[in-house]
Amino acid sequence: MIGKPQWFKYRIFGWGLAPKTWQGWLYGAIWFIVIVASSILTTGSASQPWVVGVLIGILILDVIHIMFQMPKVNDERENYHQLIIERNCSFAAIIALICVAIYQAYQNRALMINNGAVPFDISIAIVLGAMLAAKIGSTIYVKMKM
């Protein structure tokens, strides 16, 4: 695509990429200028959301492509540290979702007793299910590759 993984490093705080070289900074600056300029130039036009949306979509796809290429250009230690960070974030998200579901169930316990309804927001269960499916799929994929 457009950007190269050699221009970036993993972010220390948050998710995504951080520029590592002058090319990475230039890449980010050009995208910023292009998106702001297209937004200004199409102000008042019915096509403004489409133009800006397409540009942001291309940027997102390129960043995802770069992130998939990152393990190939980083050394083993950096990749291992990134895996530990991602694992810990996943554990924290799971614990937070379960705690929110328990809290909501406690707050809405009357719904469960009277109606038999789910006493917490069902989207929490959907997110936990998606995380479980990703874990199972990833585990099966890795086992098949070994």
Over the stretch 82-141, which tens digit does the pLDDT of each residue have?
778 788 888 899 999 999 989 988 888 776 777 777 788 888 889 999 988 988 888 898
> What is this structure's pTM?
0.57
**Who wins on pLDDT, 112 or 2?**
2
**Who wins on pLDDT, 76 or 139?**
139
Query: Average pLDDT in the 49-54 region?
Result: 90
Query: Average pLDDT in the 51-64 region?
Result: 92
> What pLDDT, on the 0 to 100 scale, is given for residue 84?
82
Q: Is the pLDDT of residue 63 over 80?
A: yes
Boundaries of every domain in the chain: 5-74, 79-145
Question: In which residue are the tokens 């492509």 written?
Answer: 65
**Which residues does 52 contact at the CB level (< 8 Å), separation at least 6?**
35, 38, 39, 42
